Amino acid sequence: MSQNTYDDNNIFAKMLNGDIPYHKVYEDDKTLAFMDIMPQAKGHVLVIPKQKAVDLAGLEPEYAAAVLMTAKKVMAAQRQVFAREGVIQMQLNGSEAGQTVFHYHIHLIPSSIHELGRHAAVQADNVELADIAQQLAKKIIE
Ligand code: 5GP
């Protein structure tokens, strides 16, 4: 179902409130980056603003800038950890486009468009996600 108004009970809002766990990669005052639980390739990260935006239409300029700056940091870390250049930056607006969580987010997927796995289909191993999150986080701090 598409949404025009922000639902405070969406899964990413619950993460921001500290109500459900996630594998954190990076956080600052305006953004949060964490592992996608159903990755389309190994190392799939989501970057979200700490602003209640359903999609790109509702994203405020300062948060738009902030999520992109965090995305740059995450991508640099992904390139180091996975020793590959290819990182797909993807962002879906509306259920027709395939959006399933209605809090704006950028996907960063170390992959090629020709190799990309199915969207939100297969749950990854929790231990592996924790390990990758730690490796990426370490590269961002360094
Ligand atoms: P969208 O379809 O809205 O562009 O992407 C939503 C993404 O959130 C999907 O890639 C999906 O795998 C991911 N996702 C859905 N539920 C959870 C969750 O509970 N935790 C995490 N970390 N990711 C989730």
Over the stretch 32-89, which tens digit does the pLDDT of each residue have?
999 999 999 999 999 999 999 999 999 999 999 999 999 999 999 999 999 999 999 9
Decide if 38 is inside a domain.
yes
- Ligand 1 atom closest to Cα of 40? 10
Decide if 53 is inside a domain.
yes
How many degrees, rounded to 5, is the angle at CA 38 between CA 34 and CA 43? 55
The residues, any chain, with a CB within 8 Å of residue 49's CB and separated by 6 or more, are 30, 31, 59, 63, 64, 66, 67, 104
In the structure, what pLDDT confidence band is assigned to residue 141 with cuts at 50, 70 and 90? confident
Q: Is 38 in the pocket of ligand 1 (CB under 6 A)?
A: yes
Is the pLDDT at 2 greater than 70, yes or no?
no
Number of domains in the chain: 1
State the amino acid at position 114 in one-letter form. Answer: H
Strand 106-109's sheet: what is its strand order?
24-27, 31-35, 45-49, 106-109, 88-90
CB 140 within 8 A of CB 26: yes
CB 104 within 8 A of CB 49: yes
Ligand 1 centroid to Cα of residue 31, in Å, is 16
Is the pLDDT at 1 greater than 80, yes or no?
no
Residue 85 lies in domain? 11-139
What's the confidence (pLDDT) of residue 4? 79
Decide if 117 is inside a domain.
yes
Q: Catalytic site residues?
A: 105
The CATH number of residue 20's host domain is 3.30.428.10
Q: What are the tokens at 94?
A: 């509306």
CA 120 to chain centre: 12
Decide if 36 is inside a domain.
yes
Mean pLDDT along residues 4-8: 92
Q: Is 120 in the pocket of ligand 1 (CB under 6 A)?
A: yes
| Interatomic CA distance for residues 76 and 74, integer angstroms | 5
Global pTM exceeds 0.85: yes
Mean pLDDT, the chain, integer: 96
Q: What dihedral do alpha carbons 135, 107, 26, 123 form, nearest 10°?
A: -60
DSSP 58: G
